[in-house]
Structure 1
């Protein structure tokens, strides 16, 4: 007697029920953090397409490129006949792309983790859809253990941190960004207590905030590092005077995924080296 395979069902971060009749085996990843999760679950053989940025970050792997995270080629994706498309973020443009793909009968799951707890839920759900739930649980346990090894820092002893997303036309990471969660787990406090992910501000406002630490990401959103000491007004910042400037890779800090745990560890170690948090 044949037994019918059990359907694989999750609820994505839109609140939409996603059901597969069998484990996903032809996956298109539209976001680098999603790709990092798939690779961490050893699902290279199930991945058939990714973005141009993924190809640049993983030159030894070759998959069909479908454009960028925000502007993927619908024609290319349709031609590949995927059984699962994974996207991260709920910007209107991302949701519109998902709707167009779903109109053609394709299955799209969207995740939008705002913190590590939600990231771990995302990993677990991808594990369910790919029938690698056991591996997903082991990965989550490993990542949680790494975070738990970070030394807790009392609120009154946390240094203030500013995270530069882009310059010029200064853009900082706000309270609702995943970066803010990384800063907190590392022992710092985001100086931008603004209820948005990304915040535009001018140098005068930054001077008033006067953070203890200034982080600059380098990557597609901020391709060229402009030394802070050479910028007008920036010489007066506490972080610049004390040389508490930390250059980081955009793909580690601004893409929710397994790499963000390493980002928190690296920032924690930087704060320790600079004696900005307790040493034990």
Structure 2
């Protein structure tokens, strides 16, 4: 049983969806798990519901205190629990290999890693030595949050041929609008999803009219579940961003 959606995606990529016995409220992908019992949320699973489905193994991700405490609580109740840290592609591959060992399916894990690696290599072959545009990733609008360099988003930007405009090593960074204007990113991505449900392109917000990404028409909305959630979907995010970066930029508008 996985308490984090991307772990369901990994198991699906290994052909092991049929082993899942429950899901969280937010996770209904792949479609085969939609009818499974719901045991609460990623960070606050209902312990009684988890015990009721009798999982042989509970999977969780690291990085959030509440999520790790939930895993610890289940472990104290006697349920085998594994926690995974996936903040870059080596971490993702390590998690997949570990899942292969835990499920007794190392060959399926190796095949999944090989497929993901081949896709990233294909992107790298196309981007080559091209100049890397600066990319700003907006995690949440309003009280502005951005993706720093300690995140899978940063790994996605780098693998796609870009350079994170935010140099801070933290996973998520709070910025003032003035700082964003100073960074002057060439490309801006705004995620839409649970963390940013009212997402709007930066071009629709007057306060960002001077940004190069707005002047050049290179500000985009992207799916939070694909870009921010570490997992096999991160490779899909690399492919999508590489395509955006490869598109011919519109010349910067002059005042």
Is the shorter-chain TM-score for this pair beyond 0.5, marking a shared fold? yes
What is the match of residue 36 of structure 1?
9
Counting only pairs closer than 5 Å after superposition, residues 1-280 of structure 1 correspond to structure 2 as 28-55=1-28, 57-59=29-31, 61-150=34-123, 151-154=126-129, 157-275=131-249
Deviation of 1:59 after TM superposition, in Å, equals 4.8
* 1:244–1:274 Cα contact (<8 Å) kept: no
Gaps of 5+ in 1: 1-27
- Of Structure 1 and Structure 2, which has the larger fraction of its residues in strand? 1
Going from structure 1 to structure 2, the CA distance change for 1:257 and 1:126 (only over 3 Å counts) comes to same
Counterpart-to-counterpart distance in 1, 2:142 and 2:249: 30
Local SS of the residue matching 2:42: coil
Following TM superposition, by how much is the alpha carbon of 1:114 offset from its aligned partner in structure 2, in angstroms? 1.7
2-side partners of 1:182 and 1:48: how far apart? 31
Shift of 1:154: 3.7
Secondary structure of 2:139's aligned partner = strand
1:124 to partner: Cα distance = 1.0
Local SS of the residue matching 1:163: strand
Indicate conservation of the 8 Å contact 2:137/2:190, yes or no.
yes
Query: Structure 1-normalised TM-score?
Result: 0.84
Cα distance in 1, alignment partners of residues 170 and 224 from structure 2: 19
Q: Residue 153 of structure 1: CA displacement?
A: 4.1
Do the aligned residues in 1 keep the contact of 2:203 with 2:219 (CA within 8 Å)? no
Q: 1:274 to 1:69 in 2, by over 3 A?
A: farther
Distance in 1 between residues matched to 2:239 and 2:18, nearest whole Å: 30
Measured after TM superposition, the shift of residue 86 of structure 1 is 0.3
How many residues are treated as equivalent by the alignment? 247
**Residue deviations 1:85-135, cap 9 Å, x none?**
000123221221111111111111000112111101111111111111111
Query: What is the root-mean-square deviation of aligned Cα atoms in Å?
Result: 1.6
**SS state of the match for residue 149, structure 1?**
helix
Is the 8 Å Cα contact of residues 136 and 189 (structure 2) preserved in structure 1?
Answer: yes
Q: Tell me the SS of whatever aligns to 1:98.
A: helix
Match of 1:18 in 2: none
Q: Residue 7 of structure 1 corresponds to which residue in structure 2?
A: none
In the TM superposition, what is the alpha-carbon distance from 1:229 to its structure 2 partner?
Answer: 2.6
Aligned-partner SS, 2:112: helix
Per the TM alignment, residue 152 of structure 1 is displaced from its structure 2 partner at its CA by: 4.1
